[in-house]
Amino acid sequence: MNPLLDFTGLPRFAEIKPEHVAPAIEQLLAENRALIARLLADNAPPTWQDFIVPMENANERLSRAWGPVGHLNAVMNSPELREVYNATLPKITQYYAELGQNLALFEKFKALRNGPEFAGLSAARKKIIENELRDFRLGGAELPEDKKQRYLEIQERLAELSSRFSDNLLDATNDYTLVIESKNELSGLPEDVLQAAHEAAQAANKSGWLFTLKAPSYMPVMQFADNRALRETMYRAYGTRASEFGKPEWDNTALMDEIVRLRGEEASLLGFANFGELSLASKMAESPQQVAEFMRELAQRARPFAEKDLAELRGFARAELGIDDPSAELRTGLQSWDVGYASEKLREKRYAFSEQEVKQYFPEDAVLPGMFRLVETLYGLQIKLSRAPVWHDDVRFLDIRDAQGQLAGQFYLDLYARNSKRGGAWMDDVITRRRVQMTEDRGQKTDVLCAATRHAYNKRRGAAATAPLSSVPCPLSSVIQTPVAYLNCNFSPPVGGKPAVFTHDEVITLFHEFGHGLHHLLTEVEDLAVSGINGVEWDAVELPSQFMENFCWEWDVLRGMTRHVDSGEALPRALFDKMLAAKNFQSGLQTLRQIEFSLFDMLMHSNFEAGGGKSILQLLDEVRAEVAVLIPPAFHRFPHSFSHIFSGGYAAGYYSYKWAEVLSADAYSLFEENGVLNPDVGARFRSEILAVGGSRGAMDSFSAFRGREPSIDALLRHNGLLETSGHL
């Protein structure tokens, strides 16, 4: 059996091969199209059970087959898998575009919305239907046929371009290595970083120390290396990835122009003035202008702090590091490749600790149990290691059980960087919680959903899992699917026989992604399209993840999840107090950086014409001139690696991080008022935010939890930027 067509359990990663992809997807696409044809041929008034459920079942099978393919392409990339992924992606894109443009399907949904059954449906199901009607309009269902064809062509081309953007960035990142043969050139680098670089050189049959542009290798060089020339070399290589400075076949310049142009054309076809308006049609924010005003107001609040941060950094670099000192060898002034290094030195001097010192207190085998204890305390859960087929030996699989011991969710944990894995950190869904109604076999080979229930039922009563499923009657009328998630990071793996150790920033990243995971896994919604993160407005989807970050600054949390990797001692309270004092170190600069990216993204998608008189880089320069105080050198090509908006889901939506940070900071303030480990407030957050998923509007969920609309004050206070009050 093709492992991609087995839906009775978790993906069979060890058995999935590139040659399985095309047959599985083509079979499912054919079956789904045949089902749609049957549904449209049925002249009976559509009902939830006879119209929505069959289509939901079919589309879930397709997503559960294609999901592992996309996941493996991201975490175990190979030429063979990439080729079949890129060859199949247009077929997937075409299918969903066809659904979105199918006027007959649209009419069926409208008939269901206007029919007698609608009033009696649950709020979640009503929202699903309303969302579908909106998405049909946004998907071009009402376009004339000639424009539908053009819309379909745009979707297919955008999918191709986005995939190529990601591939180019991965290839350009993996292609670069720098071997240093003299240890004298590596002064300042921590021992664990040197050991990892030495092991990387040995693995490549080279002598010395090998560095790459992967974050665990690149970031410590920029932060700790005394060798300024080395920092500049690495900075230039990192900042020019996938640009005209590298191999022509990996240059993302033309791809970016075409992506932005096609998005504008897509918006125009659908009657929007620009892609920004189209993007916001399904988000909380009302208009590109509102987003720009929000970003500019926040920039105005943060700018005085950022200017102070930069002035202090330049003064320190000049006085303490000899940078910009006419009597010193280094006369060029503070440069971008000096910022991380000088900032770390300033932090060490001002707060009397270093990131490297802190890192030794966060070994993986203390951090993970500590994070799990936190959510167990807040939400009454149990998290334990489990077993499942995985794609790499480093991957772990865990169960989440409720207070009664019932399985609530499961997740894969893939923490370490490797060449076959794209950069960054992310959560993705494997299986989504839903109630599946069991149905009789209707002439198809096997009712897979009922087969899954038989399998689970047999395991519970001790029957052999290998018994022929089709020979056992379906014992239940319905079953709740256990949600499953992927959690992916790019941390340094263990070296020297010790556990992996994380920087505090990496701990925050881990908590962030686990927050996304909990949003998916702790949902109590039983309808797929609004279960977990499904149906949640994109500018609110970061609320649970950013909310989790706050706990990384709580003594009662950290003291239970730290242990010095060598001595075994817990994090000293004095060191934690220094960390806390430094929490908002350069927060002005960091805030302006996020605003720069967000404003650039929104203006590029709302007030910019690709291929016109202004380039994407020139637009970014204008944004920086308006809001930034720290300007990178002219050779830097940040947009060429801005995966969030060119190959991810954040186009005209990168502002979501700051928008949702207002929500998350204000939500966390209720814990601050009542005790950060208060299980009663935790239960309220779980029931009003995590459990409801997309079954109601995000603002309604926030207000139900907080008792009012959000205020920006908590965000400004958490970032040390509070001067005046304001509201979203």
Q: Give the confidence band of 610 by pLDDT, cuts at 50, 70, 90.
A: confident
Q: What's the whole-number average pLDDT of the chain? A: 92
Q: Could you tell me the pLDDT band of residue 661, with boundaries at 50, 70 and 90?
A: very high
Please report the pLDDT score of residue 451 as a whole number: 44
Euclidean distance between CA atoms 510 and 479, whole angstroms: 32
pLDDT at 437: 79
CATH code of the domain occupying 369-434+481-537: 3.40.390.10
Q: In the chain, what's the furthest Cα-to-Cα distance?
A: 88
Average pLDDT over every residue of 371-375: 98
pLDDT at 474: 52
Q: pLDDT digits over 16-35, tens only?
A: 999 999 999 999 999 999 99
Confidence of residue 468 (pLDDT cuts 50, 70, 90): very low
Environment class of 593 (CB within 10 Å of its CB; exposed 0-12, middle 13-18, buried 19+): middle
pLDDT classification of 723: cutoffs 50, 70, 90: low
Average pLDDT of the residues in 334-348: 96
pLDDT at 279: 97
- On the question of pLDDT at 358 being above 90, the answer is yes
pLDDT digits (tens, 9 = 90+) for 271-316: 999 999 999 999 999 999 999 999 999 999 999 999 999 999 999 9
Is the pLDDT at 466 greater than 50? The verdict is no
Instruction: Report whether pLDDT(471) > 60.
Output: no
Give the residue from 582, 519, 586 showing the smallest Cα distance to 546. 519
- Arch. (CATH architecture) of 3-142: Up-down Bundle (1.20)
pLDDT band of 721, cuts 50, 70, 90: confident
pLDDT of residue 428 exceeding 90, the answer is yes
Task: Tell me the mean pLDDT in the region 141-164.
Answer: 95
Mean pLDDT to the nearest integer, 660-681: 96
Q: Report helix, strand or coil for 309.
A: helix
pTM for this one? 0.89
- Evaluate if residue 445 carries a pLDDT over 70: no
Q: Distances in Å between the alpha carbon of 365 and those of 409, 490, 502, 607?
A: 22, 17, 11, 49
Span 80-122, pLDDT tens digits: 999 999 999 999 999 999 999 999 999 999 999 999 999 999 9
Residue extents of the structural domains in the chain? 3-142, 176-241, 369-434+481-537
pLDDT of residue 476: 56
C-alpha to C-alpha distance for 447 and 479, rounded to whole angstroms: 14
How confident is residue 368, by pLDDT bands cut at 50, 70 and 90?
A: very high
Split at pLDDT 50, 70, 90, the class of 607 is: very high
Report whether 360 contacts 564 (CB < 8 A): yes
What does the pLDDT average to over 179-200? 96
Q: Catalytic pick from 98, 355, 506, 513?
A: 513
Q: Is the pLDDT of residue 200 over 50?
A: yes
Question: Is the confidence at residue 39, as pLDDT, over 60?
Answer: yes
pLDDT at 447 over 50: no
Q: What is the mean pLDDT of residues 519-530?
A: 98
pLDDT of 324 reads 73
Confidence of residue 611 (pLDDT cuts 50, 70, 90): confident
Mean pLDDT within 626-644: 97
Give the pLDDT score at 325: 55
Identify each DSSP E strand in 158-227 by its residue range: 177-180, 209-212
Residue 442 pLDDT: 35
pLDDT digits (tens, 9 = 90+) for 574-606: 999 999 999 999 999 999 999 999 999 999 999
Work out the burial of residue 204: count CB atoms within 10 Å of its CB; fewer than 13 is exposed, 13-18 middle, 19 or more buried: exposed
What's the confidence (pLDDT) of residue 139? 94
The pLDDT of residue 500: 97
pLDDT reported for residue 440:
42
Percentage, residues of the chain above pLDDT 70: 93
Report the C-alpha gap between 111 and 613 in whole angstroms. 48
How many CB atoms within 10 Å of residue 516? 24
688 catalytic per annotation: no
